[in-house]
Chains A and B, each alone.
Chain A
Amino acid sequence: MPVSKKFKSLTAGELQSANVATLEDELSELWRAAAEDPGSEHPVMRASVLTLLAFVEREEEGRETFNLISHVIAQNPCRAILMVAEPKEKPEGLSAWISAQCHLPPSGARQVCCEQIYVRARGEAVKGLDNVVLPLIIPELPVYLWWRAGRFAPPEFLNQLFRMTNRVLVDSGRFEEPELDLAALAWQVEKFRNADGMAFSDLNWARLTPCRELIAQGFDSAEACSCLQDLSEVSLEWRQGPGTEGSRTAQALLLTAWLGSRLGWQPVSRITASAHPGRVLEFRRGDKPIRVEWAVRRESGKPSTPFRVTLKTGSTPPAQFSVTESEEEGIVRTRAEMPGHAPLERTARLLVMGEVELVNEELKFPERDRVYEEALNLIAGMVEL
């Protein structure tokens, strides 16, 4: 196929098989053809602000991830390299495909195009995966690794890649045993930070961020802020929904641990792998007990994040602050009840982000998230009690 035609089919989203040994050369040839294409209405510009690596363990997840990446690219121009590692599959070998994603920015006359590379390794060949991918990393730009494979357990065959990576994106919502997997992640985060200065993001933590922001905003006034040290009861309520228990548990743990680590709570309850929403955790702050209840309610709606968070002080009369999802999707109502004041309510937007938006959001931040790390450490502490 002539090179310019090949490029057009690639930018239409088609995957073209490529020689693993000469991937970079094949890509260069295509860009040269695109730049010289006289028939193009909108000239093509190749853009990259980072290298995005993605790792999955099954072919079908690979295809799904490949589609998601094509949307990520529109917000974060990058070279994206998807790695599918199937050590137990046959026939053994390494295969690669390339594609390009182009879009026209609102104010632009040029198409912005980015490369997507798909590398699949089967059997023993997984050991050669990092050797194929390493030369494709763009020098001098940050490297992000999207770990889309459940529990974060980096295999040895990716050791070299991890040394080149600035930030790893995991999703604790995909963890099978959230309590143990989050505790294990706390250990990995510390290990990689000390060895390579690598930072971690958790898409499930990012999912909770809008909710955490709304909770934090409720305590911005000096009077409300002073209530934080008197908190005695916290209730986190989720909607019932299919297939979301792992994600809910991880969120409940993260939200609880965020409050606990920020407010200096000492864990009293030990958590185990049998933990699930519908339980009570106990903490102490000095001599004051704090009770955190997770509950699942029979409410309709999407169960992606808690639909109601209530924080209550132990004073008499108590102060109470709540964030509650309204019936309208993406809208929440906050309510603050302070002794001696009329209740204060407001309506706010609660961003409900899909996986692509979450990844895009996390790609903006290359630095460590110390608050997340401290929350993870508290979870690890609760597991070890």
Chain B
Amino acid sequence: MADTSVAANPLREGMRIRKTPSPCSMVIFGASGDLTQRKLIPALFDLHCERLLPQGFSVIGCAKTPYSNEKFRESMADAVRKFSEKSSSVDEALLKSFTESLYYLTDDFGDRDAYTQLGDLLGKLDRERGTGGNRLFYLATPPSSFSVIIGHLGSSGLARPEDAGKSWTRVVIEKPFGHDLESARELTTTVNSAFKEEQVYRIDHYLGKETVQNLLVFRFANGIFEPIWNRRYIDHVEITVAEDLGVEGRGRYYEEAGLLRDMIQNHVMSALSLVAMEPPASFDAVEVRDEKAKVLRSIRPIDLDRLDDFVVRGQYGDGWVRGERVPAYREEPNVSPQSATETFAALKLFIDNWRWADVPFYVRSGKRLAKRVSEIVVQFRRVPHTVFGRKTQNPIEQNVLAMRIQPNEGIAISFNAKFPAPMMEIRPVKMEFRYAESFGGEPPSAYETLLLDCMLGDQTLFNREDSVELSWQLLTPLLERWREDGEKGIQLYEAGTWGPEAADKLLERGGRRWHRL
């Protein structure tokens, strides 16, 4: 792989700000779309403000909409003013300087000539702006365009660095990475026809969140937790990714996707693999991703003959959220009145390896739940013997470690303490750490982190093809079964609650209950 660092620059040594990448050009396919305007361009501008973009950095927007460079620049400047993290205080001089590095190419993704034009423009920027032949292609288009674009990038020679060893070429692919195992494999084949795996960055913005990354720090930078992070001490693990929003006008997309594809296959499985993985030899892309893949490979296939014991599928009905009446999923625009699409799923999973044998991992995610919260809860086993016997009136609670990913990011540990009284009264107490209270300042947005990682050639926080396929391998049989079942087995739940009762029963059968969020 080309040397992507700027370590050769002796003036860089010891700099505390994140390394800035080598000068490069970024090509955004789907430049007139929502993702570009809401996330990519504002994140790039925020990086520009932090001086984290390299000198000469250039963006070429490609889309079918006929724009001139000027029109594109105006449109992106508006997007920055509206969606940047710094939108309340956008510096117009900086914004002007940033938008001057934006170019536009009207592009029919299927037209081979467009790629010749793109190659010419990239060459011109290399000469004029010193971008050194380094290219980052970002596919911000619907997945249906992926194979056409990748095919043309390959056949036009743009997928390979012109000067191998000295410059680099990378491609960023947005989720969904396929809609089942077969389509994921097809996508992998297409991508591999033009790019090598080390050039491919499958982005899941969830992994760019500071608190998700802190999971690794918490586990592997603290000596006290790892020795008890196993079946001997842990009773079960819960992962919840809950939203109080509905489908927000994305009914058409959601009817095709459903919650399992939208949340569980990527975000939840990523979180699970970070919680359950073995310590990697180093915080390096290959090592970390190897360990994540091992976890996914060890998850026991879902027993489709005993589906009710392992899976709950739900769909929200009408109800109240934040004091407002909200419609049922089937009443949302572009949703079929007979829709069998799930908006909630809860799964009981097992990881068949020495560390986690027989420890259930309960995962749940849903829309229109009681509140927006993402949390990982590790519940420890009860003490093996209660020495206090009849001297205490209350049962001794199990210790709980809760890692809050959003909002109010932080970590809390509950343990038991003696209540100050003459008798032996034991009460659970909570010790809590919150990011906002201990560390000031705003963390960078997930897209800022991940875009910079792409340019720096760090794949640690991106999904590798094997993990994507392993995740689909686990979930595709369930999706097929649900497709066959249609409406049968779908549990309706009232909007603004914690999902169907069956999700509670999933834990109650093992004498457990969801941690209160």
List residues of chain A with CB under 8 Å of any chain B CB: 45, 47, 49, 74-77, 105-108, 110, 112, 209-210, 212-225, 228, 259, 262-263, 326, 328, 330-331, 334, 336, 338, 341-342, 344, 346-349, 360, 365, 369-372
B97-118 Cβ-contact flags toward A at 8 Å (1 or 0): 1000100000000000000000
The listed residue (B14, B23, B51, B129) touching A349 by CB distance below 8 A is B51
Is B55 positioned at the interface, with any CB of A under 8 Å from its CB? yes
B17 to chain A: which residues have CB within 8 Å?
A: 209, 213
Is B467 positioned at the interface, with any CB of A under 8 Å from its CB? no
A212 vs chain B, min Cβ distance (A): 7
Cβ-defined contact, A223 with B130, below 8 A? yes
Cβ-defined contact, B127 with A348, below 8 A? no
Cβ-defined contact, B166 with A222, below 8 A? yes
Is B6 positioned at the interface, with any CB of A under 8 Å from its CB? yes
B262 vs chain A, min Cβ distance (A): 26
Cβ-defined contact, A338 with B130, below 8 A? yes
Query: CA–CA, A77 to B93, complex, Å?
Result: 35
Cβ-defined contact, A74 with B51, below 8 A? no
Is B12 positioned at the interface, with any CB of A under 8 Å from its CB? yes
Cβ-defined contact, B129 with A328, below 8 A? no
Enumerate B3-55 residues with CB–CB distance to A below 8 Å: 6, 8-17, 20, 22-23, 48-51, 54-55
A and B contact pairs by CB, cutoff 8 A, 12 listed: A77-B437, A210-B51, A215-B11, A217-B51, A219-B9, A223-B130, A225-B8, A228-B10, A262-B13, A326-B93, A341-B127, A342-B128
B188 vs chain A, min Cβ distance (A): 33
Is B132 positioned at the interface, with any CB of A under 8 Å from its CB? yes
B98 vs chain A, min Cβ distance (A): 8
| One of B63-71, B190-198, B366-374, B438-446 at the interface | B438-446
Query: CA–CA, A219 to B91, complex, Å?
Result: 26
A330 to chain B: which residues have CB within 8 Å?
A: 91
If A47-B438, A213-B15, A346-B97 touch, whether A334 touches B166 (CB-CB below 8 Å) is no
Query: CA–CA, A220 to B54, complex, Å?
Result: 8
Task: Pick from A328, A331, A342, A347 the residue with the most CB of B within 10 Å.
Answer: A347
Is B94 positioned at the interface, with any CB of A under 8 Å from its CB? yes
Query: CA–CA, A228 to B128, complex, Å?
Result: 20
If A262-B13, A336-B55 touch, whether A220 touches B6 (CB-CB below 8 Å) is yes
Cβ-defined contact, B437 with A263, below 8 A? no
Query: CA–CA, A217 to B97, complex, Å?
Result: 16
The listed residue (B13, B22, B55, B434) touching A218 by CB distance below 8 A is B55
Cβ-defined contact, B16 with A365, below 8 A? yes
The listed residue (A106, A334, A347, A360) touching B436 by CB distance below 8 A is A106
Cβ-defined contact, A221 with B439, below 8 A? no
Query: CA–CA, A372 to B16, complex, Å?
Result: 12
Enumerate B402-440 residues with CB–CB distance to A below 8 Å: 407-408, 434, 436-440
Cβ-defined contact, B434 with A222, below 8 A? no
Cβ-defined contact, B438 with A49, below 8 A? yes
Known: A76-B440, A220-B23. 11 other contacts (CB 8 A): A75-B441, A216-B9, A217-B54, A220-B12, A224-B130, A228-B9, A331-B93, A347-B93, A348-B94, A365-B16, A372-B14
Cβ-defined contact, A77 with B51, below 8 A? no
Query: CA–CA, A214 to B441, complex, Å?
Result: 23
A217 to chain B: which residues have CB within 8 Å?
A: 20, 51, 54-55
Is B96 positioned at the interface, with any CB of A under 8 Å from its CB? yes
Is B56 positioned at the interface, with any CB of A under 8 Å from its CB? yes
Chain B residue with minimal CB distance to A347?
B97
Cβ-defined contact, B13 with A348, below 8 A? no
Chain A residue with minimal CB distance to B3?
A222
Query: CA–CA, A224 to B131, complex, Å?
Result: 12
If A221-B55, A331-B91, A349-B94 touch, whether A216 touches B12 (CB-CB below 8 Å) is yes
Query: CA–CA, A32 to B23, complex, Å?
Result: 56
Query: CA–CA, A53 to B491, complex, Å?
Result: 60
Q: Which 4 A-B pairs have the closest CB atoms?
A: A371-B14, A347-B97, A75-B440, A216-B11
Query: CA–CA, A79 to B437, complex, Å?
Result: 14
Number of A-B residue pairs at CB separation under 8 A: 121
A63 vs chain B, min Cβ distance (A): 24
Cβ-defined contact, B55 with A263, below 8 A? no
If A213-B17, A216-B15 touch, whether A108 touches B91 (CB-CB below 8 Å) is no
Query: CA–CA, A75 to B166, complex, Å?
Result: 42
Query: CA–CA, A371 to B14, complex, Å?
Result: 6
In this complex, how many residues of chain B approach chain A with their Cβ under 8 Å: the count is: 42
If A107-B436, A220-B12, A220-B22 touch, whether A347 touches B96 (CB-CB below 8 Å) is yes
B124 vs chain A, min Cβ distance (A): 11
B436 to chain A: which residues have CB within 8 Å?
A: 105-108
A212 to chain B: which residues have CB within 8 Å?
A: 11, 15
Chain A residue with minimal CB distance to B433?
A47
Cβ-defined contact, A346 with B55, below 8 A? yes
B434 vs chain A, min Cβ distance (A): 7
Enumerate B387-411 residues with CB–CB distance to A below 8 Å: 407-408
A320 vs chain B, min Cβ distance (A): 14
B55 to chain A: which residues have CB within 8 Å?
A: 217-218, 220-221, 334, 336, 344, 346
B11 to chain A: which residues have CB within 8 Å?
A: 212, 215-216, 219, 228, 259, 262-263
Query: CA–CA, A107 to B128, complex, Å?
Result: 46
A349 to chain B: which residues have CB within 8 Å?
A: 49-51, 91, 94
Cβ-defined contact, B22 with A221, below 8 A? yes
B408 to chain A: which residues have CB within 8 Å?
A: 107-108
If A216-B9, A219-B9, A344-B130 touch, whether A49 touches B56 (CB-CB below 8 Å) is no
Task: Pick from B22, B56, B101, B166 the residue with the most CB of A within 10 Å.
Answer: B56
The listed residue (B10, B48, B50, B56) touching A262 by CB distance below 8 A is B10
Cβ-defined contact, B438 with A369, below 8 A? no
Chain B residue with minimal CB distance to A374?
B14
Enumerate B103-160 residues with CB–CB distance to A below 8 Å: 127-130, 132
B80 vs chain A, min Cβ distance (A): 14
B480 vs chain A, min Cβ distance (A): 42
A360 to chain B: which residues have CB within 8 Å?
A: 440
Query: CA–CA, A134 to B441, complex, Å?
Result: 30
Cβ-defined contact, B132 with A222, below 8 A? yes
A262 to chain B: which residues have CB within 8 Å?
A: 10-11, 13
Cβ-defined contact, A45 with B437, below 8 A? yes
Chain A residue with minimal CB distance to B6?
A220
Chain B residue with minimal CB distance to A262?
B10
A44 vs chain B, min Cβ distance (A): 11
Chain A residue with minimal CB distance to B23?
A221
If A348-B51, A371-B14 touch, whether A107 touches B407 (CB-CB below 8 Å) is yes
B20 vs chain A, min Cβ distance (A): 6
Chain A residue with minimal CB distance to B16?
A365
Chain B residue with minimal CB distance to A328?
B93
A305 vs chain B, min Cβ distance (A): 14
Cβ-defined contact, B20 with A220, below 8 A? yes
Query: CA–CA, A326 to B97, complex, Å?
Result: 13
If A213-B51, A220-B54, A221-B130 touch, whether A348 touches B14 (CB-CB below 8 Å) is no
Query: CA–CA, A286 to B448, complex, Å?
Result: 42
Task: Pick from A105, A331, A372 the residue with the most CB of B within 10 Å.
Answer: A105
B9 to chain A: which residues have CB within 8 Å?
A: 216, 219-220, 225, 228
Cβ-defined contact, B439 with A49, below 8 A? yes
Query: CA–CA, A255 to B85, complex, Å?
Result: 33
Task: Pick from B9, B48, B49 the residue with the most CB of A within 10 Å.
Answer: B9
Chain A residue with minimal CB distance to B167?
A222
B94 to chain A: which residues have CB within 8 Å?
A: 331, 347-349
Cβ-defined contact, A209 with B16, below 8 A? yes
